[in-house]
Amino acid sequence: MKVAVIGAGYVGSVTGAAFAASGRQVTVIDSDPRKVDRINAGKSPIYEPGLDALIDAAVRRRLLSASDRYDSIREADIVFIAVGTPSRPDGTADLTYVKSAADGIGAAINPDRFTVVVDKSTVPVGTAELVAARIEERSGLAHGKAFAVASNPEFLREGYALEDVFYPDRIVVGTGHPKARRALRKLYGPLLERKAYGVPADVIPQPTEAKAETIYFETDAKSAELIKYVSNAFLAVKISYINEVARLCEAIGADVTDVAAGVGLDSRIGGKFLQVSSGWSGSCFPKDTAELLSASRKYGSELTVVRAAVDSNRGMHEFCVEKIRRRLKSLIGRRVGVLGLTFKPNTDDARQTQASVIIGGLLELGASVSVHDPQGMAMFRTLNPKLEVRYCATGEETADGADAVVLLTHWDDYALLDWQAMRKRMRTPYVLDTRNFLRKKPWSEWGYEYEGIGIGTVRRRR
Ligand code: UDX
Ligand code: UDX
**pLDDT given at position 211:** 87
Work out which ligand 1 atom sits closest to the CA atom of 100: 33
Q: Which of 179, 201, 219 marks a domain boundary?
A: 219
Is 242 inside a domain boundary? no
Tell me the pTM: 0.94
- Residues 389/369, Cβ–Cβ less than 8 Å: yes
**pLDDT given at position 153:** 98
- Residues 400/371, Cβ–Cβ less than 8 Å: no
Work out which ligand 1 atom sits closest to the CA atom of 287: 5
Per-residue pLDDT tens digits for 22-40 = 999 999 999 999 999 999 9
Interatomic CA distance for residues 357 and 296, integer angstroms: 26
Do residues 52 and 200 share a domain?
A: yes
Q: Which of 155, 188, 219 marks a domain boundary?
A: 219
Interatomic CA distance for residues 122 and 119, integer angstroms: 8
- Residues 238/206, Cβ–Cβ less than 8 Å: no
Work out which ligand 2 atom sits closest to the CA atom of 277: 30
Do residues 441 and 337 share a domain?
A: yes
Per-residue pLDDT tens digits for 362-406 = 999 999 999 999 999 999 999 999 999 999 999 999 999 999 999
The closest ligand to the CA of 39 turns out to be 1
**pLDDT given at position 56:** 98
Q: How far away, in angstroms, is 41 Cα from ligand 2 center?
A: 30
**pLDDT given at position 462:** 58
Q: How far away, in angstroms, is 185 Cα from ligand 1 center?
A: 25
Is 448 inside a domain boundary? yes
Is 161 inside a domain boundary? yes
Is 283 inside a domain boundary? no
Do residues 316 and 213 share a domain?
A: no
Q: How far away, in angstroms, is 121 Cα from ligand 2 center?
A: 16
**pLDDT given at position 461:** 72
User: Considering only CA atoms, which residue is closest to atom 8 of ligand 1?
Assistant: 121
Q: Which of 158, 185, 219 marks a domain boundary?
A: 219
Do residues 321 and 210 share a domain?
A: no
Q: Which amino acid is at 252?
A: I
Q: Of the listed 249, 284, 320, 392, which one is catalytic?
A: 284
Counting as low any pLDDT under 70, the low residues of the chain are 196, 462
Is 259 inside a domain boundary? no
Is 44 inside a domain boundary? yes
Structural domains counted in the chain: 2
Do residues 213 and 71 share a domain?
A: yes
Q: How far away, in angstroms, is 100 Cα from ligand 1 center?
A: 12
Is 19 inside a domain boundary? yes
User: Considering only CA atoms, which residue is closest to atom 31 of ligand 2?
Assistant: 275
Residue 27's CB is within 10 A of a number of other CB atoms, namely: 24
Candidate of 157, 227, 263 to mutate for ligand 2, largest count of ligand atoms within 8 Å of Cβ: 157
- Residues 334/404, Cβ–Cβ less than 8 Å: yes
Candidate of 5, 6, 10, 123 to mutate for ligand 1, largest count of ligand atoms within 8 Å of Cβ: 10
Question: Where residue 450 sits, what CATH number does that domain have?
Answer: 3.40.50.720
Do residues 203 and 71 share a domain?
A: yes
- Residue 284: active-site member: yes
Work out which ligand 1 atom sits closest to the CA atom of 86: 3
Do residues 130 and 8 share a domain?
A: yes
Residue 328, CA distances (Å) to 321, 324, 405 in order:
11, 6, 12
**pLDDT given at position 183:** 98
Range of the domain at 380: 311-458
Is 304 inside a domain boundary? no
Do residues 152 and 12 share a domain?
A: yes
